Amino acid sequence: MPIFDNHIHLRAEFRGVDAAKDFERAGGTAILLTHSPYDEIPIHRAEDYDKAYAKTLAMAEAVRKATHVQVFVALGPYPVDFLGLQGAIGRAPAIEVMRSGIDRAAERIAAQEAVAFGEVGRPHFPVSDEILATCNGLLEYTMVRARELGCAVVLHTEDPTPATFAEFARMASKAGLDPGRLVKHHSTPFTKPEDTHGLVPSILAKENLVEEALKGGPRFLLETDYIDDPRRPGAVLGPATVPRKTKAWIANGLLTEDQAQVIHRETPERTYGFQIR
pLDDT at 213: 98
Statement: residue 40 has pLDDT above 80 = yes
When pLDDT is averaged across residues 192-204 and rounded to a whole number, the result is 98
pLDDT at 241: 98
pLDDT at 32: 98
Mean pLDDT for all residues in the chain: 97
Q: Which CATH number fits domain 4-272: 3.30.565.10, 3.40.50.2000, 3.90.1150.10, 3.20.20.140?
A: 3.20.20.140
**Type of residue at 153:** V
CA distances from 141 to 81, 186, 221, 247 (A): 16, 22, 25, 39
When pLDDT is averaged across residues 238-253 and rounded to a whole number, the result is 98
When pLDDT is averaged across residues 195-223 and rounded to a whole number, the result is 98
| Alpha-carbon gap, residue 48 to 25, rounded angstroms | 35
pLDDT at 75: 98
- The pTM of the full predicted model, rounded to 2 decimals, is 0.97
Q: 25 in helix, strand or coil?
A: helix
Domain ranges of the chain: 4-272
Rg value, the chain, Cα: 18
Give CB contacts under 8 A, 24+ apart, made by 195-200: 195/162, 195/165, 196/162, 196/165, 197/162, 197/165, 197/166, 197/168, 197/169, 198/169, 198/172, 199/165, 199/168, 199/169, 200/267, 200/271
Look at 8-22, 80-94, 119-133, 231-245 and tell me which has the smallest mean pLDDT. Answer: 231-245
